[in-house]
Amino acid sequence: MMRFSGKPVYLCCGHTDMRKSINGLMTLVQHSFSLDPYAEAMFVFCNRSRNRLKILEWDGDGFWLYFKRLERGHFRWPTEGDAPTMILNGDELSCLIDGARLEKKLRRKDVFERIIS
């Protein structure tokens, strides 16, 4: 499980095209949210089905792009509503991500390891 630093977390409300990579997400951060992708922050995006998540982070000399795909279930994700972004802290982001795991556990449907050849 990933631990999040004390950096602010900007959550992109609604859905994002997950075909976007680092450059596409940087452009979205700059132009749609009027934020600096080089800031000490994490920018989080989710797809329409809410089963895939990307996190963009600048670490001082390059970008990290984290990707998570749920095999079962989905993330509880805010709709765009009145604001395109939402500001969270690391603990709130952990709760949002772990919420999918908790939801699966409550349903008692675990994902088992599979050997892929």
The model's pLDDT over 44-90, given as tens digits with 9 standing for 90+, comes to 999 999 999 999 999 999 999 999 998 888 888 888 776 788 898 88
Q: What is the pTM of this model?
A: 0.79
Write out the two tokens for 96: 């949002």
Edge-to-edge strands of the sheet including 52-58? 63-69, 52-58, 42-46, 9-12, 85-88
Lowest mean pLDDT among 4-8, 68-72, 84-88, 91-95: 4-8
